[in-house]
Chains A and B, each alone.
Chain A
Amino acid sequence: MTRAKPEDDEYWNSSKFKAFTFDDEDDEFSQVKSKRAVNSILVDDDDEDEEDVERVSWSGEPVGSISWSVKETASSIRSGSEQSFPKIDTTPSLSKQGSGYSLSSLFKGNLQILLQAFSLEKFCSLQDKLLLLDEAVAVYDGNVITAVLIFLKKSLSKEILFRELMARDVALRHYVHYLKEMGEQKLVVELLKALGRTEDMALMHYKEHLNIKDESRRRDFLKSCLSLPFSQDDATHVQDHYTLLERQIIIEASDKKAVAEIFKKFPRKASILNMPIITTLYYSCFYHYGESEGTFSSPSNIRKTFRISEKQYILTALGARAKLKSWFDVDSLFNTKNWLGYTKKRSPIGFHRVVDILHKNSAPVQVLQEYVNLIDDPDLKLSGALKYKCHDIVINTYRDLKDRQQLIVYREKLERDSPEYRKIQELLNNVQIRWKN
């Protein structure tokens, strides 16, 4: 299929299919359609005469006709009053109990007008205030609920308001959200504390670190978070966060002016500050591999400090060392010695994954072959070998499967007289093998 050609640009500048931008002229199509629709609505309406139809079929001419707004259209269409849908729940109206004011009427219609006409200041007694709040909640309108809460915030002491909110979850959530939006974090923290929601309070406080840009101030802030009443798990995480940033600051300060060969060969692309733990570990495996555990920047120190699992460690170190093409380091990651002193390769991650990572870092065939050979699952092994062209493994697998046909097929893919080709030839000529096909 041919790709977009420059001549097509003309289309993009002239067609209605292009993305809307402010420079667009309105397309005719929608104009025609809407015009028709506008008229069709008006046909329904007995009061409108022909002239009126003309007047409202607005198509971009300035002014005059514009006051024809949504609301007017809507109201002009309606006539006669009939309630056609029932209420689902009948929530008992609290308005008449105990209060002289018709509270429900307050919430019908435009809040703006009513709030002006109907001064909230008339609600003096606590009982009235709470009725007001409950009524607001009963009409489901978040805007009204918040409006009442703003009034209560101004006219009640914190302690009383907090106490009353405790039993009113819907109102409470509106209040917390409102305070958050107003940037009154301190008050939220106080409120959550008063409600005994200490974990939420701790998290709320901790969240503030996101707004601190300077790293030393951020570190100090995180330190101040350590004493907050987090859940046991989160306390550990926050402790880690503080330790991590503290170390990153130290590592960053020294690496910024580092002169070691590796930094010249692979200049750092970004600072290590505020990076996740695993990224920091990767960085350390890349630039500080082999340092003794005593230094903060060493992989073993990071691994130990942040309790990184063996699997995760191997995966990260493998990525970093493979990126540097240090195949020797890669090998030693998996080498284990048994009690007789033989080395054997073992891995907490599947060797097919290892091969994947090595391949992505363009490892040479010899290296790949060794790891493909270590894949346990025979199917994965074969598909890996085929994918990465490890001929020996493919040939041996087919031989073990006694699959003559596949060997023949595979032979055709090889260069004539290459060692692999000859190997297959020899196998096929071997009369001692009992082929299955």
Chain B
Amino acid sequence: MAHTEWRDAPELPDFSLLKRLARDQLIFLLEQLPGKKDLFIDADLMSPLDRIANVTILKQHEVDKLYKVELKPIVSSSDQLCFLIRPRIQTVKWISDLVNADKVAGRFRRYKIIFTPQKFYACETVLEEQGVYGDVTTDEWNFYILPLDDDILSLELPEFFRDNFLEGDQRWVTTAGSALHLLQSVYGSFSKVYGIGRCAKMVYESWRELMEEGEQRTRQPEFAKVFLVDRDVDFVTPLCSQVVYEGLVDDLFRIKCGTVELGPDVTSSDKSIKVMLNSQDKVFSEIRNEHFSNVFGFLSQKAKNLQTAYDKRRGMDIQQMKAFVSDELKGLKQEHRLLSLHIGASESMMKKKTKQDFQELLKTEHSLLEGFEIRECITYIEEHINRQVSMIDSLRLLCLLSITENGLLSKDYRSLKAQYLQSYGIKHLLTFANLRQLGLLEEQQAGETLTVMESKVGKLVNDKTVGKLTDAFSSLAKKSNFRALSKRLALVPKSGEEYDLRVPRDMAYVFSGAYIPLSCKLIEQVLERDGWTGLEEVTRMLNGQEFAVTARNKTDAQRIVLVMFLGGCTFSEISALRFLGKERDAYYVKQIEYMVNIKLSI
């Protein structure tokens, strides 16, 4: 589990350097507005910024007061206002209004907007249109990558998925390209790039353009292979309930920017606390990738060991006690602290997740993945909706049903949608429109024409025959790519086989042995074959858009693989890749747009 145990594993570069670079640039930008200033920060930049620079550093560079951007009128007496924001039109409009209000009030201030990771022309147009261009200076803070852990890098762009896949706006393509370029500039070149997906292709091209523009070091040591994958290549995996520890923590408490906030019920105190989750937490790093069923046993063993260690002090003389306190006690206390937190977290997981409901939910997901007893699954989903339990779970199940079955039969789609709207609000018909746009929840198109055909045929023959015809037609219409993919790549192990979750034999362990994440399986296959040869059928079913390119001055095979999920990835996928890395004796660094915890509502 711990990385140090890996034999001969290549050493990962020190990604914390990226933080240093980002911090230096930020300070440089702050210096561009000399003198005391108030700093307004976009809400979702707060946590990433925390990782880069603390208040002391900001204060050293004459930041007086800090505010969160709330798109409301401000109270600030400072003569200089600095805004650290994502390039969003709405925020820029708000700033323009502030400037104009100051102008009306006859107040003179200096304003500076620092866009991160880059500025957009559309934002500057807003400044121009609102007549404040020139009153406001703008800059870019190229803070592309935040290292969240030794092996996780993030762009921290939660809107990437929506903008790119739902709206079809390619504004983040160059951002992703620039992030790759930055990595390459700092750590060495890439020996090979593989990818699949429309966005992946564009990111590759964008990065290549950047590389061509800049001068390239001739014999730069190679650092990694890169795998770019679009989130929409594999929608199935993020739709499944997570059962590895870190994934469950995310599902239940939401991990944001590598940090989780645990409520009073977990901490058994009256306040909630924020905890950093990464490999420096020794307890966490041992259980993060484990299937949940193993975690509790592990923690209680750990607790016993801890007790033994504490007990040592009994019968000690003063000298020994002194040594104990100075050498061991601190470490023990720290472990104690972490242990009780994780035990608290697992307890509330147990409470929520061992309920019959969760077992049934998992069973339904597994049936859907296997393509088994679909009618029963639909009935379960229907009841789930009827009982008005978790809106998101209902939606996840509906999407999983649609994707695994290549769309819902017309009558099912209509009835489930109607019931969903009844249970959770009619406004969600907008959600359904979005999901259809994304291809996550669809009505079988063939079904429609079939209905027409049926009703025509229906006039000629009796009802019984129509029933038979319908069955025949629907079996023709269902060309389920997921099923075929799953079969071709052996994603779903044969049911009935015992799967020992303590000794995982493949990546399927992250889903209780029921399913190997499609995304990770693709990565494994491509790396094994060093390209897409032999996977033609698979890529055809995934709508093509695959590529594999080699550097012309390629030297030797790199064992560090940088996997970039365009549109986010789940902790289950990260765990699966860690497992793969351990097996293949290689490192997988995950670069992600954002951790997805599927959020599909309007």
Instruction: Assess the A278–B121 pair: CB atoms within 8 A.
Output: no
| Most chain B beta-carbon contacts within 10 A, residue among A78, A84, A237 | A84
Instruction: Assess the B429–A19 pair: CB atoms within 8 A.
Output: no
- Residues of chain B within 8 A (CB-CB) of A420 are none
Known contacts A237-B421, A315-B387; A37/B185 CB under 8 A: no
Q: Closest B-chain residue to A107, C-beta based? A: B209
Instruction: Assess the A37–B17 pair: CB atoms within 8 A.
Output: yes
CA of A238 to CA of B427 in the docked complex: distance in angstroms? 9
Instruction: Assess the A143–B171 pair: CB atoms within 8 A.
Output: yes
User: Of the 9-residue stretches A4-12, A158-166, A388-396, which lies at the interface with chain B?
Assistant: A4-12
Interface residues of chain A: helix, strand, loop or mixed (majority): helix
The bracket for how many chain A residues form the interface is: 35 or more
Instruction: Assess the A147–B213 pair: CB atoms within 8 A.
Output: no
| Most chain A beta-carbon contacts within 10 A, residue among B170, B333, B549, B553 | B170
From the candidates A68, A82, A150, A181, name the one contacting B121 in the complex (CB within 8 A): A150
- Residues of chain A within 8 A (CB-CB) of B418 are 233, 237
CB distance from A26 to the nearest CB of B (A): 6
Contact of B552 with A by CB under 8 A = yes
From the candidates A4, A73, A209, name the one contacting B21 in the complex (CB within 8 A): A73
CA of A75 to CA of B215 in the docked complex: distance in angstroms? 8
The bracket for how many chain B residues form the interface is: 35 or more
Q: Closest B-chain residue to A276, C-beta based? A: B425
From the candidates A37, A74, A82, name the one contacting B20 in the complex (CB within 8 A): A37
- Residues of chain B within 8 A (CB-CB) of A17 are 275-276, 280-281, 334, 337-338
- Residues of chain B within 8 A (CB-CB) of A8 are 333, 336-337, 340
CA of A67 to CA of B32 in the docked complex: distance in angstroms? 10
Contact of B16 with A by CB under 8 A = yes
Instruction: Assess the A19–B274 pair: CB atoms within 8 A.
Output: yes
Instruction: Assess the A278–B208 pair: CB atoms within 8 A.
Output: no
Instruction: Assess the B268–A88 pair: CB atoms within 8 A.
Output: no
CA of A353 to CA of B274 in the docked complex: distance in angstroms? 38
- Residues of chain B within 8 A (CB-CB) of A353 are 383
CA of A23 to CA of B55 in the docked complex: distance in angstroms? 6
Contact of A294 with B by CB under 8 A = no
Instruction: Assess the B122–A84 pair: CB atoms within 8 A.
Output: no
CA of A240 to CA of B267 in the docked complex: distance in angstroms? 45
Contact of A142 with B by CB under 8 A = yes
- Residues of chain B within 8 A (CB-CB) of A12 are 273, 337
- The 8 A CB mask of B536-552 against A (1 = contact, 0 = none) is 00000000000101011
- The 8 A CB mask of B306-341 against A (1 = contact, 0 = none) is 000000000000000000000000000110111111
Instruction: Assess the B16–A30 pair: CB atoms within 8 A.
Output: yes
Known contacts A18-B276, A78-B214, A315-B387; A33/B14 CB under 8 A: yes
Instruction: Assess the B423–A66 pair: CB atoms within 8 A.
Output: no
CB distance from B432 to the nearest CB of A (A): 9
Instruction: Assess the A143–B388 pair: CB atoms within 8 A.
Output: no
- Chain B residues 421-445 with CB under 8 Å of chain A are 421-427, 429-430, 433
Contact of B396 with A by CB under 8 A = no
Instruction: Assess the B186–A69 pair: CB atoms within 8 A.
Output: no
Contact of B344 with A by CB under 8 A = yes
Instruction: Assess the A244–B426 pair: CB atoms within 8 A.
Output: yes
- The 8 A CB mask of B516-554 against A (1 = contact, 0 = none) is 000000000000000000000000000000010101110
Instruction: Assess the A84–B552 pair: CB atoms within 8 A.
Output: yes
Contact of B98 with A by CB under 8 A = no
CA of A202 to CA of B269 in the docked complex: distance in angstroms? 51
CA of A30 to CA of B50 in the docked complex: distance in angstroms? 14
Q: Closest B-chain residue to A7, C-beta based? A: B333
- Residues of chain A within 8 A (CB-CB) of B217 are 77-80
Contact of B216 with A by CB under 8 A = yes
CB distance from A169 to the nearest CB of B (A): 8
Instruction: Assess the B189–A84 pair: CB atoms within 8 A.
Output: yes
- The 8 A CB mask of B1-40 against A (1 = contact, 0 = none) is 0000000000001101101111011011001000000000
Instruction: Assess the B24–A58 pair: CB atoms within 8 A.
Output: yes
Known contacts A74-B182, A312-B419; A237/B429 CB under 8 A: yes
- Residues of chain A within 8 A (CB-CB) of B163 are 142, 177
- Residues of chain B within 8 A (CB-CB) of A109 are 213
Instruction: Assess the A88–B24 pair: CB atoms within 8 A.
Output: no
22 contacts between A and B (CB under 8 A): A1-B343, A4-B341, A18-B274, A34-B16, A34-B20, A37-B20, A62-B61, A68-B24, A70-B24, A80-B216, A84-B552, A88-B205, A141-B173, A141-B174, A142-B171, A147-B122, A150-B122, A176-B167, A177-B163, A206-B430, A233-B414, A237-B418
Q: Which 8 A-B pairs have the closest CB atoms?
A: A19-B274, A173-B168, A142-B171, A142-B170, A74-B185, A147-B121, A37-B17, A20-B50
